[in-house]
Structure formats: structure tokens, C-alpha cells
């Protein structure tokens, strides 16, 4: 599926979720259907469902609680339409990569200074999981994104984390559009280098590796 086709499918999912909220099927505070239920109901990929949900979470329409599910935020329904207008823009791959280089590059510098043993261990687990799931596209992408999120969280800066959450769906879409199995091995090596530099406390080199990784990941 091309990136434009994936976006169109995801827009359909967003429209479906929006309609459920607007017609009162899901009221503020209600739990929405699970990813598996929505995938089966709409006959779309789980990635498209997750992309749509992540975007709705990012703009404040939905909220997710680990182990509990995803819920409609308890705010006036009139806010939803305005927030949904920000979901789909024409951000190019180049703009997305530039944004990520700025944010994630500097995040590497901060993370290197503020790294904890627990965070390092979580990143190592994500890296191992990436290595073990090279032949499983969706599992690999999930672990890849989790690795990057861990770096962001380690900065301790909530604004950085939230700014990246807003575009996380676009990042996942880029992964699906550009990444192929033969590129996963290269991605693993870049993540290994980034992790090594973070473990050494070398934020400058970690940022350099992150920049090269992001540029490489956007190549067709």
C-alpha cells in the first residue's frame, strides 16, 4: 500500500470514529472499541486503526490508559471538530524528517546527560526485539517506535514528548511507506550505534547517528 492509500484509509477510520462520537454512540468518558474490534469491523489494517487513534489522542479527542483501553475525553463535543481540523495536513516527508532531526537529535543530547539504568535496559530490550522481528514488519516498527519514545521520555521534558506524540501517527505511516525488510537490518545497526553512544554519555555522537539514521530511513 502506498503512503497516499494508507492515508486515505486512515482518514476513513478517523471519519468513522468521529461519527461515533458526534452521534452520541460514544459519549465523553466512554470506552471505544478495541483496535482488534475496529480492524475486524472496518476491514482495514491494524496499523491504519492505530494511526487514526494516535492522531485523535494527540489532538485531545481521545485518551488512552495502559491496561484499560481508549476513551473519549471528557470535554465538550464542540471542541472535537476544531481539533480534527489539525489532523491531516500536507506535511512532506522532508519536513517530517527535518523536524525529527531537530527534536530527536537534541533529545539524544539531553538523554545522554539524564540516562538511567532502567531506561538503558528498556532500550536494550527494544533493540533485541527489533533484531528478533526483522521478518515481522509490524512488530519491528512497533519496537522501533518504542525505542525512539524511550529516548524522548529520558529527556524528562514533557513538551518534547508531547510534540512528538502529535506526529507519531505520521511517523508510523512513514515507516510503513518507506521501510522494507532489507532496510530493517540497517536500522538495527543505527539503533545499536545510538544506544552505544547514549550508554557512553556521548550525546553529540548519538545525535549525529540519529540524524544519519533518520535521513537513511526516509530514502525510497
Do residue 107 and residue 178 come from a single domain?
Answer: yes
Q: Are residues 100 and 25 in the same domain?
A: no
Calculate what percentage of the chain has a pLDDT beyond 70: 82
* 115-162 pLDDT per residue, tens: 999 999 999 999 999 999 988 888 888 899 899 999 999 999 988 887
Mark whether 22 and 77 lie in a shared domain. yes
Domain limits for position 178: 93-217
**The C-alpha cell that represents 96 in the structure block:** 517530517
In terms of C-beta density within 10 A (0-12 exposed, 13-18 middle, 19 or more buried), how is residue 117 classed? Answer: exposed
Domain's final residue, options 67, 84, 101: 84
Pairing between β-strand 62-65 and β-strand 69-72 as defined by DSSP bridges: antiparallel
User: Bridge-partner residues for 31, per DSSP?
Assistant: 71
Q: How many domains does the chain have?
A: 2
Q: Do both 109 and 73 map to the same domain?
A: no
Query: Grid coordinates standing for 99?
Result: 523536524
Strand partners, 64: 70
Task: Give the CATH number of the domain where residue 51 resides.
Answer: 1.10.10.10
Cα–Cα distance for residue pair 71/140, rounded to 1 Å:
27
Instruction: Report the first-to-last Cα separation within the chain, whole angstroms.
Output: 14
Residue 2 binned pLDDT confidence (cut-offs 50, 70, 90): very low
CATH number (domain holding residue 171): 1.20.120.530
Q: What pTM does this model have?
A: 0.61
* Per-residue model confidence as pLDDT tens digits over 42-67: 999 988 899 889 888 877 789 888 88
Q: In terms of domains, do 170 and 208 share one?
A: yes
The verdict on 97 and 168 lying in the same domain is yes
Amino acid at each position: 500500500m502506498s503512503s497516499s492509500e494508507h492515508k486515505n484509509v486512515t482518514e476513513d477510520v478517523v471519519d468513522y470514529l468521529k461519527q461515533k462520537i458526534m452521534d452520541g454512540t460514544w459519549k465523553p468518558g466512554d470506552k471505544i472499541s478495541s483496535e482488534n474490534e475496529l480492524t475486524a469491523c472496518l476491514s482495514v489494517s491494524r496499523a491504519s486503526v492505530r494511526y487514526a487513534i494516535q492522531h485523535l489522542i494527540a489532538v485531545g479527542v481521545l485518551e488512552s490508559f495502559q491496561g484499560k483501553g481508549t476513551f473519549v475525553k471528557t470535554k465538550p463535543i464542540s471542541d472535537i471538530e476544531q481539533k480534527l481540523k489539525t489532523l491531516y495536513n500536507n506535511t512532506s516527508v522532508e519536513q517530517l524528517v527535518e523536524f525529527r532531526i531537530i527534536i530527536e537529535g537534541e533529545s539524544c543530547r539531553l538523554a545522554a546527560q539524564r540516562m538511567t539504568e532502567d531506561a538503558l535496559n528498556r532500550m536494550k530490550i527494544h533493540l533485541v526485539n527489533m533484531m528478533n522481528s526483522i521478518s515481522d514488519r509490524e512488530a519491528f516498527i512497533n519496537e522501533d517506535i518504542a525505542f525512539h519514545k524511550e529516548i524522548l521520555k529520558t529527556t524528562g521534558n514533557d513538551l518534547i514528548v508531547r510534540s512528538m506524540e502529535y506526529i507519531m501517527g505520521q511517523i508510523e505511516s512513514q515507516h510503513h511507506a518507506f521501510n522494507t525488510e532489507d532496510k530493517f537490518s540497517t536500522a538495527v545497526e543505527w539503533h545499536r550505534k545510538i544506544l552505544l553512544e547514549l550508554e557512553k554519555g556521548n550525546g553529540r555522537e548519538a545525535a549525529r547517528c540519529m540524524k544519519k539514521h533518520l535521513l537513511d530511513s526516509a530514502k525510497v
